[in-house]
Amino acid sequence: MKLIACLLLASCLAALPAVLAEEALTPLDEALAGQIISLDGDMVEIYYDLTDEAQLADWVKFKPFKVDGELDLKIVNKSFKLKGTGAIHHVATFRDKVSVELDLVPASDRDMGIVVSEDAESEQYVLYSINDIYFQKFDGGRKPQHMVTRFGVVDPSEPSGNKVFRYVARGMKPEIRPHRKLHLLAEKQGKQDTFTIGDAVYKGREPGRTLSELHIGFYVVKSNAMFTGVRVRGRLSPKWLEKAKVSLELSEPLAQVGPSEADLHARKIVGRFDIGTADSLDVLEIIADSEVSVAIRESGVQALIASGDKKLVPKVVGLLYAEDVETRSLGRDLVRGLTNKNFGYDPKAKQDKRSKAIQKLIGYIQKKPKLFGETR
């Protein structure tokens, strides 16, 4: 009997490592390819800088709507590029609270945006749309509108119980221009939806039942757009954690990643200027701020050039005297964009040569006081 007991004990001990291995959970930061910015209980924030193809592993192609066409998905210039018809969603599911924040660069001017859907294929989903035309046509709409729309609502007026869509909120501001960056934030908590487009905010409460086990992502319908600087926030679903065998633990301490507070503020200012709710001088301050990333400062330069505000040129002179080459270069680009001249200014030249070029610019301004008068 003792021999049998010893053999049984040895057998159990030998099997123990395999049992433990089956129950082992993967830390959250190892399970996802995105960068975990914050983790508080089951509330997580994940950032995607899209610098490599590996980050595609956290995203799944799908099509919540029944529309013919295929989706082409790539990472191009640190952006998700979606072309055609279809959607992608984050691999994780969230319960009752989820949001996504990003910059959108539309190649076309309609039928794109953010989607929140259920994990099960229930035809229950919400679209946060930029310049929707496709779905409005089923309701007689002809003009493009930004919308928050709940799909899959049962219509009690029809005996057949057909599922329809219902508007949660909609409007026409801001104006969308192809290839101009636009900041978006879509937030869902229970039945409450908030969609921020630049400086415009659309809010509403959904009809129908409360959606559960939520996926969040992006969509296009016969369209083409770039989605960049993606931040996903939400309360992770226990069902997904169990199914994916993921723990709410990290393998190493969190590091500060993603845009700084200065970048986030600067990006909003440029976005507000694009829709006419920020002053050109506010953008000029961003261009002069060395704490703001070069990419955002460059977007500010392009926004001011696109405005054609030549009366801003005298205010740009200060940038040409900046101590750092980068700021001087941005100032040179802005002067050249607004005047079609560079006055021989080289941001990398010695100070005396730069000063001579600046004096040429000042002389040019003084000769054309009506053209370069006070800015707004």
Residue 250 CB contacts under 8 Å (≥ 6 apart), including other chains: 27, 28, 29, 36, 39
Provide CATH 2.60.120.560 ranges for the chain: 26-254
Residue 331 CB contacts under 8 Å (≥ 6 apart), including other chains: 287, 316, 317, 318, 319, 320, 322, 347
The number of helices, as runs of H, and strands, as runs of E, in the chain is 9, 16
Q: Tell me the per-residue pLDDT of 247-273, one tens digit each, with 9 for 90 and over.
A: 999 998 876 555 677 888 888 888 888
> How does DSSP assign 27-83, residue by residue?
EHHHH-SSEEEEEETTEEEEEE---SGGGGGGEEEE-SS-----EEEEEETTEEEEE
Q: Note the pLDDT of residue 161.
A: 46
Name which residue leads in pLDDT, 285 or 22.
285
Residue 360 has phi, psi (to 5 degrees) of: -65, -40
50: left (phi over 0), alpha (psi -120 to 50) or beta: left
Q: Note the pLDDT of residue 70.
A: 93
Q: Tell me the per-residue pLDDT of 194-217, one tens digit each, with 9 for 90 and over.
A: 999 988 899 999 988 899 899 999
Task: Report how far residue 221's alpha carbon sits from residue 133's, in angstroms, rounded to the nearest whole number.
Answer: 10
Structure tokens at 48: 């995607």
Instruction: Count Cα neighbours of 261 within 13 Å in the Cβ-side half-sphere.
Output: 0
Q: Tell me the per-residue pLDDT of 179-198, one tens digit each, with 9 for 90 and over.
A: 888 889 999 999 999 999 98
Q: Note the pLDDT of residue 288.
A: 92
Mean pLDDT, residues 240-251: 94
Residue 191 has phi, psi (to 5 degrees) of: -95, 0
Task: Report how far residue 293's alpha carbon sits from residue 280's, in angstroms, rounded to the nearest whole number.
Answer: 19
Least confident stretch, 10-24, 27-41, 56-70: 10-24
In CATH terms, is domain 26-254 a member of 2.60.120.560? yes
pLDDT band at 137 (very low <50, low <70, confident <90, very high): confident
Q: Is the pLDDT of residue 360 over 80?
A: yes
Residue 239 has phi, psi (to 5 degrees) of: -65, -40
Q: Is the pLDDT of residue 134 over 70?
A: yes
pLDDT band at 15 (very low <50, low <70, confident <90, very high): low
In whole numbers, what is the pLDDT of the chain averaged over residues?
86
CB neighbours (10 Å) of residue 185? 18
Nearest to 148 by CA among 212, 92, 201: 201
Residue 12 CB contacts under 8 Å (≥ 6 apart), including other chains: none
Q: Note the pLDDT of residue 21.
A: 46
Q: First CA to last CA across the chain, in angstroms?
A: 97
Q: Note the pLDDT of residue 111.
A: 93
